[in-house]
Structure 1
Amino acid sequence: MGVIAVIGGTGVYDPSMFENIEAKTMSTPYGDIAYTQGSYKGKQVVFLARHGMKHSIPPHLINYRANIWGLKKLGVTMIISTTAVGSLNQDFGPGHFVLVDQFLDFTKSRVSTFFDGHGKKVVHLGVGNPYSPALRTVIEEAAKKLDITLHNGGTYVCTEGPRFETPAEIKMFKMLGADTVGMTNVPEVVLAGEAEIAYATISMVTNYAAGISPTELTHQEVLDIMAEMSNNFKALILETIERLDPDQDLPCHHRLAEYGGFKAALGKEGDLL
Protein backbone atom coordinates (compact mmCIF):
# COMPACT_ATOMS: atom_id res chain seq x y z
CA MET A 1 0.00 0.00 0.00
CA GLY A 2 1.29 3.44 -0.92
CA VAL A 3 2.02 6.09 1.69
CA ILE A 4 1.16 9.80 1.60
CA ALA A 5 3.72 12.22 3.04
CA VAL A 6 3.21 15.75 4.31
CA ILE A 7 6.30 17.93 4.47
CA GLY A 8 5.55 20.74 6.88
CA GLY A 9 7.17 24.10 6.23
CA THR A 10 7.22 27.27 8.31
CA GLY A 11 4.32 27.24 10.76
CA VAL A 12 3.31 23.65 9.99
CA TYR A 13 4.96 21.53 12.66
CA ASP A 14 2.12 19.64 14.32
CA PRO A 15 1.40 16.06 13.21
CA SER A 16 -1.38 15.65 15.80
CA MET A 17 -3.98 16.16 13.05
CA PHE A 18 -3.32 12.51 12.17
CA GLU A 19 -4.20 9.32 14.05
CA ASN A 20 -2.02 6.65 15.71
CA ILE A 21 1.05 8.85 15.44
CA GLU A 22 4.50 7.63 16.43
CA ALA A 23 7.77 9.59 16.31
CA LYS A 24 10.59 7.75 14.56
CA THR A 25 14.06 8.24 13.07
CA MET A 26 15.82 6.71 10.09
CA SER A 27 19.38 6.58 8.82
CA THR A 28 19.95 7.31 5.12
CA PRO A 29 23.11 7.52 2.99
CA TYR A 30 22.86 11.30 3.43
CA GLY A 31 22.22 11.50 7.16
CA ASP A 32 19.48 10.80 9.70
CA ILE A 33 15.92 12.08 9.52
CA ALA A 34 13.20 12.43 12.13
CA TYR A 35 9.59 11.90 11.14
CA THR A 36 6.17 10.95 12.48
CA GLN A 37 4.25 7.97 11.16
CA GLY A 38 0.49 7.73 11.48
CA SER A 39 -2.75 7.32 9.58
CA TYR A 40 -5.84 9.21 8.46
CA LYS A 41 -9.10 7.67 7.27
CA GLY A 42 -7.36 4.31 6.88
CA LYS A 43 -4.46 5.69 4.82
CA GLN A 44 -0.84 5.56 5.92
CA VAL A 45 0.64 9.02 6.44
CA VAL A 46 4.16 10.27 7.18
CA PHE A 47 4.77 13.78 8.51
CA LEU A 48 8.19 15.42 8.22
CA ALA A 49 8.95 18.90 9.54
CA ARG A 50 11.29 20.47 7.00
CA HIS A 51 12.86 22.93 9.46
CA GLY A 52 12.68 20.58 12.44
CA MET A 53 9.89 20.51 15.02
CA LYS A 54 11.26 23.70 16.65
CA HIS A 55 12.21 25.49 13.40
CA SER A 56 15.90 24.99 14.11
CA ILE A 57 17.15 24.31 10.55
CA PRO A 58 17.56 27.27 8.16
CA PRO A 59 16.49 26.75 4.53
CA HIS A 60 20.02 26.56 3.08
CA LEU A 61 21.03 23.82 5.56
CA ILE A 62 18.02 21.51 5.21
CA ASN A 63 19.11 17.98 4.33
CA TYR A 64 16.82 17.70 1.31
CA ARG A 65 18.41 14.49 -0.02
CA ALA A 66 18.07 12.67 3.29
CA ASN A 67 14.43 13.77 3.60
CA ILE A 68 13.37 12.60 0.14
CA TRP A 69 15.43 9.41 0.33
CA GLY A 70 13.82 8.54 3.66
CA LEU A 71 10.32 9.14 2.32
CA LYS A 72 11.03 6.96 -0.69
CA LYS A 73 12.26 4.15 1.56
CA LEU A 74 9.09 4.43 3.64
CA GLY A 75 7.02 3.69 0.54
CA VAL A 76 5.80 7.24 -0.06
CA THR A 77 4.17 7.66 -3.47
CA MET A 78 2.72 11.16 -3.01
CA ILE A 79 4.08 14.22 -1.23
CA ILE A 80 2.04 17.23 -0.15
CA SER A 81 4.57 19.94 0.62
CA THR A 82 3.65 23.13 2.48
CA THR A 83 5.43 26.47 2.17
CA ALA A 84 5.07 30.05 3.30
CA VAL A 85 5.65 32.49 0.46
CA GLY A 86 5.73 36.14 -0.41
CA SER A 87 3.62 37.30 -3.33
CA LEU A 88 4.75 39.16 -6.45
CA ASN A 89 1.29 38.87 -7.97
CA GLN A 90 -1.36 41.35 -6.83
CA ASP A 91 -4.04 38.68 -7.36
CA PHE A 92 -2.34 36.40 -4.80
CA GLY A 93 -3.09 38.19 -1.55
CA PRO A 94 -2.03 37.39 2.03
CA GLY A 95 -4.06 34.46 3.33
CA HIS A 96 -4.54 32.97 -0.13
CA PHE A 97 -3.27 29.50 -1.08
CA VAL A 98 -1.33 28.87 -4.30
CA LEU A 99 -0.50 25.64 -6.15
CA VAL A 100 2.55 26.57 -8.17
CA ASP A 101 3.22 24.68 -11.39
CA GLN A 102 6.67 26.04 -12.31
CA PHE A 103 9.79 27.24 -10.51
CA LEU A 104 12.80 29.50 -11.01
CA ASP A 105 15.94 28.34 -9.20
CA PHE A 106 18.07 31.08 -7.67
CA THR A 107 19.71 28.92 -5.01
CA LYS A 108 23.49 28.93 -4.85
CA SER A 109 24.99 26.19 -2.69
CA ARG A 110 22.56 23.26 -2.63
CA VAL A 111 23.04 19.77 -4.03
CA SER A 112 20.02 19.23 -6.29
CA THR A 113 20.48 15.63 -7.42
CA PHE A 114 20.99 12.11 -6.14
CA PHE A 115 23.07 11.37 -9.24
CA ASP A 116 26.43 12.86 -8.38
CA GLY A 117 28.67 10.11 -9.77
CA HIS A 118 30.17 7.40 -7.54
CA GLY A 119 28.90 4.45 -9.57
CA LYS A 120 25.50 5.94 -10.38
CA LYS A 121 24.21 6.64 -13.86
CA VAL A 122 24.27 10.11 -15.37
CA VAL A 123 20.62 11.14 -15.17
CA HIS A 124 18.93 14.14 -16.77
CA LEU A 125 15.52 14.69 -15.18
CA GLY A 126 12.79 16.23 -17.31
CA VAL A 127 10.97 18.98 -15.41
CA GLY A 128 8.25 20.05 -17.82
CA ASN A 129 5.71 19.29 -15.08
CA PRO A 130 7.68 19.47 -11.81
CA TYR A 131 4.49 19.66 -9.74
CA SER A 132 2.02 16.82 -10.28
CA PRO A 133 -1.04 18.04 -12.23
CA ALA A 134 -3.08 15.17 -10.76
CA LEU A 135 -2.25 16.11 -7.16
CA ARG A 136 -2.91 19.78 -7.86
CA THR A 137 -6.34 18.96 -9.26
CA VAL A 138 -7.27 17.01 -6.13
CA ILE A 139 -6.05 19.82 -3.86
CA GLU A 140 -8.01 22.37 -5.91
CA GLU A 141 -11.18 20.29 -5.55
CA ALA A 142 -10.63 20.01 -1.80
CA ALA A 143 -10.22 23.79 -1.52
CA LYS A 144 -13.46 24.38 -3.42
CA LYS A 145 -15.35 22.10 -1.04
CA LEU A 146 -13.93 23.96 1.95
CA ASP A 147 -14.52 27.38 0.36
CA ILE A 148 -10.83 28.26 0.66
CA THR A 149 -9.31 30.82 -1.74
CA LEU A 150 -6.78 28.91 -3.83
CA HIS A 151 -5.03 29.65 -7.13
CA ASN A 152 -4.02 26.65 -9.25
CA GLY A 153 -0.95 27.72 -11.22
CA GLY A 154 1.93 30.11 -10.77
CA THR A 155 5.70 30.33 -10.76
CA TYR A 156 7.70 30.00 -7.53
CA VAL A 157 11.14 31.57 -7.38
CA CYS A 158 13.42 29.89 -4.85
CA THR A 159 16.14 32.00 -3.24
CA GLU A 160 19.03 30.83 -1.10
CA GLY A 161 18.06 32.53 2.14
CA PRO A 162 18.07 32.77 5.04
CA ARG A 163 17.84 36.52 4.39
CA PHE A 164 14.78 37.99 2.73
CA GLU A 165 15.06 39.41 -0.78
CA THR A 166 15.88 43.00 -1.74
CA PRO A 167 13.32 45.12 -3.60
CA ALA A 168 15.67 45.08 -6.59
CA GLU A 169 15.72 41.28 -6.61
CA ILE A 170 11.94 41.14 -6.38
CA LYS A 171 11.66 43.57 -9.29
CA MET A 172 13.93 41.29 -11.34
CA PHE A 173 12.02 38.15 -10.38
CA LYS A 174 8.74 39.79 -11.33
CA MET A 175 10.17 40.68 -14.74
CA LEU A 176 11.10 37.01 -15.17
CA GLY A 177 7.52 35.91 -14.51
CA ALA A 178 7.63 34.89 -10.84
CA ASP A 179 4.39 34.93 -8.84
CA THR A 180 5.65 33.82 -5.42
CA VAL A 181 8.98 33.75 -3.63
CA GLY A 182 10.28 31.32 -1.01
CA MET A 183 13.44 29.56 0.14
CA THR A 184 12.74 25.83 0.29
CA ASN A 185 11.03 24.35 -2.77
CA VAL A 186 14.29 23.74 -4.64
CA PRO A 187 15.88 21.21 -4.62
CA GLU A 188 13.05 19.41 -2.81
CA VAL A 189 10.77 19.27 -5.87
CA VAL A 190 13.67 18.15 -8.10
CA LEU A 191 14.73 15.36 -5.76
CA ALA A 192 11.14 14.15 -5.46
CA GLY A 193 11.04 14.00 -9.25
CA GLU A 194 14.21 11.92 -9.38
CA ALA A 195 12.79 9.62 -6.70
CA GLU A 196 9.65 9.16 -8.85
CA ILE A 197 7.32 10.50 -6.17
CA ALA A 198 4.28 12.59 -7.11
CA TYR A 199 4.82 16.03 -5.59
CA ALA A 200 2.72 19.15 -5.12
CA THR A 201 3.20 22.25 -2.99
CA ILE A 202 0.50 24.11 -1.13
CA SER A 203 1.91 27.60 -0.64
CA MET A 204 0.27 30.08 1.68
CA VAL A 205 0.84 33.73 0.91
CA THR A 206 1.89 35.47 4.12
CA ASN A 207 2.80 38.87 2.64
CA TYR A 208 3.55 40.86 -0.46
CA ALA A 209 7.26 40.74 -1.31
CA ALA A 210 9.82 43.47 -0.68
CA GLY A 211 9.20 46.61 -2.68
CA ILE A 212 5.55 45.62 -3.19
CA SER A 213 4.64 45.63 0.50
CA PRO A 214 4.80 49.15 2.01
CA THR A 215 6.51 47.82 5.16
CA GLU A 216 9.64 45.79 5.94
CA LEU A 217 8.88 42.11 6.53
CA THR A 218 9.84 40.25 9.71
CA HIS A 219 9.91 36.52 10.31
CA GLN A 220 7.50 36.97 13.22
CA GLU A 221 4.92 38.43 10.85
CA VAL A 222 5.17 35.30 8.71
CA LEU A 223 4.64 33.10 11.79
CA ASP A 224 1.70 35.21 12.95
CA ILE A 225 -0.13 34.96 9.63
CA MET A 226 0.59 31.23 9.40
CA ALA A 227 -0.89 30.78 12.88
CA GLU A 228 -4.03 32.65 11.82
CA MET A 229 -4.44 30.41 8.79
CA SER A 230 -3.34 27.12 10.39
CA ASN A 231 -6.88 25.75 10.73
CA ASN A 232 -7.54 26.26 7.01
CA PHE A 233 -4.17 24.70 6.21
CA LYS A 234 -4.91 21.60 8.30
CA ALA A 235 -8.43 21.27 6.90
CA LEU A 236 -7.12 21.49 3.33
CA ILE A 237 -4.43 18.87 3.99
CA LEU A 238 -6.88 16.44 5.58
CA GLU A 239 -9.51 16.89 2.89
CA THR A 240 -6.84 16.31 0.25
CA ILE A 241 -5.56 13.14 1.91
CA GLU A 242 -9.12 11.83 2.13
CA ARG A 243 -9.49 12.30 -1.63
CA LEU A 244 -6.09 10.91 -2.69
CA ASP A 245 -5.43 7.33 -3.76
CA PRO A 246 -1.79 6.62 -2.84
CA ASP A 247 -1.85 3.53 -5.07
CA GLN A 248 -2.87 5.49 -8.17
CA ASP A 249 -0.35 5.07 -10.98
CA LEU A 250 0.78 8.47 -12.30
CA PRO A 251 3.25 9.50 -15.03
CA CYS A 252 5.62 10.99 -12.44
CA HIS A 253 6.03 7.52 -10.92
CA HIS A 254 7.94 6.56 -14.08
CA ARG A 255 10.03 9.66 -14.66
CA LEU A 256 13.29 7.69 -14.80
CA ALA A 257 11.92 4.82 -16.88
CA GLU A 258 14.56 5.34 -19.57
CA TYR A 259 17.21 4.70 -16.90
CA GLY A 260 15.45 1.61 -15.52
CA GLY A 261 13.78 3.55 -12.69
CA PHE A 262 15.16 5.38 -9.68
CA LYS A 263 16.54 2.36 -7.85
CA ALA A 264 18.28 0.93 -10.92
CA ALA A 265 19.80 4.29 -11.83
CA LEU A 266 21.37 4.55 -8.37
CA GLY A 267 23.44 1.41 -8.94
CA LYS A 268 24.69 -0.26 -5.77
CA GLU A 269 23.27 2.56 -3.63
CA GLY A 270 19.81 1.55 -4.84
CA ASP A 271 20.14 -1.66 -2.84
CA LEU A 272 19.73 0.43 0.33
CA LEU A 273 16.16 1.35 -0.62
Structure 2
Amino acid sequence: MPINGNLFASPSRWGRALLTRAVHLGWEGVRRAGSVTAAHPGRLRFRRLGEGTRLAFPQGTVFGEGWIELGDHCIIGEQVTLTAGMMPGLDLGPDPILTLGNGVVLGRGSHVIADTRVTIGSDTYCGPYVYITSTNHSYDDPDQPVGKQWPRTEPVEIGPGCWLGTGAVVLPGARLGRNVVVAAGAVVRGEVPDHCVVAGAPARVVRSWDAAAGWQPPLRTPAPVPLPEDITPEQLLALAAEAEQERRERRPERGE
Protein backbone atom coordinates (compact mmCIF):
# COMPACT_ATOMS: atom_id res chain seq x y z
CA MET A 1 0.00 0.00 0.00
CA PRO A 2 1.52 3.40 -0.94
CA ILE A 3 2.42 5.63 1.93
CA ASN A 4 0.57 8.94 2.06
CA GLY A 5 3.07 11.81 2.05
CA ASN A 6 1.04 13.57 4.73
CA LEU A 7 1.06 10.62 7.10
CA PHE A 8 4.32 11.64 8.72
CA ALA A 9 4.86 15.39 9.00
CA SER A 10 8.42 16.61 8.80
CA PRO A 11 10.09 17.87 12.01
CA SER A 12 10.16 21.39 10.58
CA ARG A 13 6.37 21.37 10.12
CA TRP A 14 5.88 20.13 13.68
CA GLY A 15 8.23 22.85 14.92
CA ARG A 16 6.37 25.53 12.98
CA ALA A 17 3.03 24.33 14.33
CA LEU A 18 4.31 24.37 17.91
CA LEU A 19 5.82 27.82 17.43
CA THR A 20 2.57 29.18 15.98
CA ARG A 21 0.59 27.77 18.88
CA ALA A 22 3.07 29.20 21.39
CA VAL A 23 2.90 32.64 19.77
CA HIS A 24 -0.90 32.63 19.82
CA LEU A 25 -1.07 31.48 23.43
CA GLY A 26 1.56 34.01 24.42
CA TRP A 27 -0.26 36.84 22.69
CA GLU A 28 -3.52 35.91 24.42
CA GLY A 29 -1.67 36.04 27.73
CA VAL A 30 -0.23 39.45 26.87
CA ARG A 31 -3.68 40.76 25.93
CA ARG A 32 -5.15 39.56 29.21
CA ALA A 33 -2.29 40.97 31.26
CA GLY A 34 -2.26 44.27 29.38
CA SER A 35 -5.98 45.02 29.63
CA VAL A 36 -6.92 47.83 32.01
CA THR A 37 -9.58 47.47 34.72
CA ALA A 38 -10.35 49.16 38.01
CA ALA A 39 -8.53 46.36 39.82
CA HIS A 40 -5.56 46.46 37.44
CA PRO A 41 -5.23 50.02 36.06
CA GLY A 42 -1.55 49.70 35.16
CA ARG A 43 0.01 53.10 34.53
CA LEU A 44 -3.36 54.78 33.86
CA ARG A 45 -5.02 56.75 36.65
CA PHE A 46 -8.45 57.75 35.45
CA ARG A 47 -10.61 60.17 37.39
CA ARG A 48 -13.07 57.30 37.51
CA LEU A 49 -12.82 53.76 36.16
CA GLY A 50 -16.09 52.00 36.78
CA GLU A 51 -16.74 48.48 37.97
CA GLY A 52 -16.66 45.92 35.17
CA THR A 53 -15.11 48.34 32.67
CA ARG A 54 -12.23 47.03 30.58
CA LEU A 55 -9.83 48.66 28.14
CA ALA A 56 -8.52 46.02 25.74
CA PHE A 57 -4.81 45.71 25.03
CA PRO A 58 -3.10 47.23 23.17
CA GLN A 59 -4.57 50.60 24.06
CA GLY A 60 -4.35 53.59 21.76
CA THR A 61 -3.13 57.01 22.85
CA VAL A 62 -4.43 57.86 26.33
CA PHE A 63 -3.62 61.06 28.21
CA GLY A 64 -5.31 63.51 30.53
CA GLU A 65 -6.88 60.53 32.29
CA GLY A 66 -7.24 62.58 35.49
CA TRP A 67 -10.08 64.37 33.66
CA ILE A 68 -11.62 61.24 32.13
CA GLU A 69 -14.52 59.40 33.78
CA LEU A 70 -15.50 55.94 32.55
CA GLY A 71 -18.77 54.48 33.83
CA ASP A 72 -19.51 50.91 34.88
CA HIS A 73 -19.38 47.95 32.47
CA CYS A 74 -17.93 49.85 29.53
CA ILE A 75 -16.11 47.99 26.76
CA ILE A 76 -13.19 49.85 25.18
CA GLY A 77 -11.76 47.99 22.20
CA GLU A 78 -8.16 47.66 21.04
CA GLN A 79 -6.26 50.73 19.83
CA VAL A 80 -8.90 53.17 21.12
CA THR A 81 -7.64 56.71 21.74
CA LEU A 82 -9.03 58.65 24.74
CA THR A 83 -7.61 62.11 25.37
CA ALA A 84 -8.52 65.09 27.54
CA GLY A 85 -6.81 68.37 26.74
CA MET A 86 -4.74 69.34 23.74
CA MET A 87 -1.60 67.67 25.09
CA PRO A 88 -0.41 65.70 28.12
CA GLY A 89 0.50 67.47 31.33
CA LEU A 90 -2.05 70.30 31.24
CA ASP A 91 -4.08 71.40 34.26
CA LEU A 92 -7.66 71.27 32.99
CA GLY A 93 -9.36 72.50 36.13
CA PRO A 94 -11.62 70.83 38.70
CA ASP A 95 -14.26 69.32 36.40
CA PRO A 96 -14.15 66.23 34.17
CA ILE A 97 -13.58 66.83 30.47
CA LEU A 98 -14.49 63.43 28.98
CA THR A 99 -17.31 61.35 30.48
CA LEU A 100 -18.61 57.95 29.37
CA GLY A 101 -21.82 56.71 30.95
CA ASN A 102 -22.46 53.14 32.06
CA GLY A 103 -22.36 50.42 29.43
CA VAL A 104 -20.71 52.46 26.66
CA VAL A 105 -18.98 50.46 23.92
CA LEU A 106 -16.16 51.94 21.81
CA GLY A 107 -15.15 49.72 18.90
CA ARG A 108 -11.61 48.96 17.81
CA GLY A 109 -9.59 51.92 16.56
CA SER A 110 -12.09 54.57 17.67
CA HIS A 111 -10.96 58.02 18.81
CA VAL A 112 -12.55 60.32 21.39
CA ILE A 113 -10.71 63.66 21.44
CA ALA A 114 -11.90 65.96 24.23
CA ASP A 115 -10.14 69.32 24.26
CA THR A 116 -13.31 70.62 25.88
CA ARG A 117 -16.32 68.83 27.38
CA VAL A 118 -17.39 65.59 25.66
CA THR A 119 -20.19 63.45 27.13
CA ILE A 120 -21.32 60.05 25.83
CA GLY A 121 -24.54 58.77 27.36
CA SER A 122 -25.10 55.36 28.91
CA ASP A 123 -25.56 52.31 26.66
CA THR A 124 -24.29 54.08 23.56
CA TYR A 125 -22.54 51.67 21.20
CA CYS A 126 -19.89 52.72 18.69
CA GLY A 127 -18.66 50.50 15.88
CA PRO A 128 -14.98 50.36 14.92
CA TYR A 129 -13.07 53.47 13.83
CA VAL A 130 -15.61 56.01 15.07
CA TYR A 131 -14.15 59.50 15.52
CA ILE A 132 -15.62 61.91 18.09
CA THR A 133 -13.92 65.26 18.58
CA SER A 134 -14.56 68.59 20.28
CA THR A 135 -11.86 70.32 18.21
CA ASN A 136 -11.61 71.34 14.57
CA HIS A 137 -8.91 73.14 12.62
CA SER A 138 -9.60 76.73 11.62
CA TYR A 139 -8.59 78.28 8.32
CA ASP A 140 -9.50 81.95 8.83
CA ASP A 141 -6.09 83.26 7.81
CA PRO A 142 -5.40 82.41 4.16
CA ASP A 143 -1.69 83.19 4.60
CA GLN A 144 -1.06 80.69 7.40
CA PRO A 145 -0.93 76.89 7.13
CA VAL A 146 -4.17 75.44 8.46
CA GLY A 147 -2.31 73.23 10.94
CA LYS A 148 -0.65 76.28 12.53
CA GLN A 149 -3.87 78.24 13.12
CA TRP A 150 -5.52 78.11 16.53
CA PRO A 151 -8.30 75.47 16.47
CA ARG A 152 -11.93 75.94 17.40
CA THR A 153 -13.44 73.89 20.23
CA GLU A 154 -17.08 73.24 21.11
CA PRO A 155 -18.60 70.75 23.56
CA VAL A 156 -20.05 67.50 22.23
CA GLU A 157 -22.97 65.64 23.76
CA ILE A 158 -24.19 62.19 22.69
CA GLY A 159 -27.36 61.03 24.38
CA PRO A 160 -27.99 57.60 25.90
CA GLY A 161 -28.83 54.55 23.85
CA CYS A 162 -27.30 55.71 20.56
CA TRP A 163 -25.66 53.56 17.90
CA LEU A 164 -22.81 54.98 15.81
CA GLY A 165 -21.86 52.86 12.80
CA THR A 166 -18.38 52.09 11.52
CA GLY A 167 -16.36 55.14 10.54
CA ALA A 168 -18.89 57.70 11.75
CA VAL A 169 -17.50 61.15 12.58
CA VAL A 170 -19.00 63.46 15.22
CA LEU A 171 -17.78 67.04 14.90
CA PRO A 172 -17.41 69.82 17.51
CA GLY A 173 -20.69 71.27 18.75
CA ALA A 174 -22.75 68.18 17.85
CA ARG A 175 -25.62 67.29 20.18
CA LEU A 176 -27.25 63.92 19.62
CA GLY A 177 -30.48 63.06 21.39
CA ARG A 178 -31.60 59.74 22.83
CA ASN A 179 -31.54 56.52 20.78
CA VAL A 180 -30.09 58.11 17.66
CA VAL A 181 -28.71 55.87 14.90
CA VAL A 182 -25.75 57.28 12.96
CA ALA A 183 -25.13 55.43 9.71
CA ALA A 184 -21.67 54.13 8.86
CA GLY A 185 -19.44 56.85 7.45
CA ALA A 186 -21.80 59.69 8.38
CA VAL A 187 -20.38 63.08 9.41
CA VAL A 188 -22.51 64.62 12.16
CA ARG A 189 -22.65 68.26 13.14
CA GLY A 190 -25.28 70.40 14.84
CA GLU A 191 -28.28 69.11 16.78
CA VAL A 192 -29.92 65.73 16.15
CA PRO A 193 -33.32 65.04 17.75
CA ASP A 194 -34.27 61.94 19.74
CA HIS A 195 -35.22 58.70 18.03
CA CYS A 196 -34.03 59.27 14.49
CA VAL A 197 -31.61 57.91 11.92
CA VAL A 198 -29.03 60.16 10.27
CA ALA A 199 -26.83 59.39 7.27
CA GLY A 200 -24.56 61.15 4.82
CA ALA A 201 -21.84 63.79 4.87
CA PRO A 202 -22.98 66.10 6.25
CA ALA A 203 -25.49 63.87 8.02
CA ARG A 204 -29.21 64.51 7.63
CA VAL A 205 -32.27 62.83 9.14
CA VAL A 206 -33.46 59.98 6.92
CA ARG A 207 -35.92 58.34 9.32
CA SER A 208 -37.61 59.48 12.53
CA TRP A 209 -40.09 58.25 15.10
CA ASP A 210 -43.56 59.73 15.44
CA ALA A 211 -45.67 58.75 18.45
CA ALA A 212 -48.83 58.51 16.34
CA ALA A 213 -47.51 57.17 13.03
CA GLY A 214 -44.47 55.21 14.19
CA TRP A 215 -41.30 55.21 12.09
CA GLN A 216 -41.43 57.49 9.05
CA PRO A 217 -40.68 56.40 6.43
CA PRO A 218 -41.86 52.97 7.62
CA LEU A 219 -39.30 50.28 8.38
CA ARG A 220 -38.78 47.83 5.52
CA THR A 221 -38.20 44.82 7.77
CA PRO A 222 -40.26 43.51 10.69
CA ALA A 223 -39.07 44.22 14.20
CA PRO A 224 -36.99 41.38 15.68
CA VAL A 225 -38.71 39.23 18.29
CA PRO A 226 -36.73 38.98 21.57
CA LEU A 227 -35.65 35.46 22.45
CA PRO A 228 -36.91 33.87 25.69
CA GLU A 229 -34.32 33.88 28.45
CA ASP A 230 -34.61 30.12 28.98
CA ILE A 231 -34.15 29.12 25.33
CA THR A 232 -31.84 26.14 24.74
CA PRO A 233 -29.13 25.89 22.04
CA GLU A 234 -31.19 23.23 20.25
CA GLN A 235 -34.26 25.46 20.18
CA LEU A 236 -32.16 28.37 18.91
CA LEU A 237 -30.84 26.26 16.02
CA ALA A 238 -34.37 25.14 15.17
CA LEU A 239 -35.56 28.76 15.10
CA ALA A 240 -32.67 29.72 12.81
CA ALA A 241 -33.49 26.88 10.42
CA GLU A 242 -37.16 27.89 10.41
CA ALA A 243 -36.29 31.53 9.67
CA GLU A 244 -33.99 30.49 6.81
CA GLN A 245 -36.73 28.35 5.33
CA GLU A 246 -39.17 31.28 5.48
CA ARG A 247 -36.66 33.53 3.72
CA ARG A 248 -36.23 30.99 0.93
CA GLU A 249 -39.97 30.67 0.47
CA ARG A 250 -40.38 34.47 0.25
CA ARG A 251 -37.49 34.83 -2.23
CA PRO A 252 -38.84 35.18 -5.79
CA GLU A 253 -37.85 32.55 -8.30
CA ARG A 254 -35.16 33.50 -10.79
CA GLY A 255 -36.55 34.88 -14.01
CA GLU A 256 -39.74 36.28 -12.44
- Give the TM-score band, short-chain normalised: under 0.3
Q: Which has the higher contact order (CA 8 A, sep 6+)?
A: 1
Q: Which has the higher helix share?
A: 1
**What is the TM-score when the length of structure 2 is the normalising length?**
0.21
**What is the TM-score when the length of structure 1 is the normalising length?**
0.20
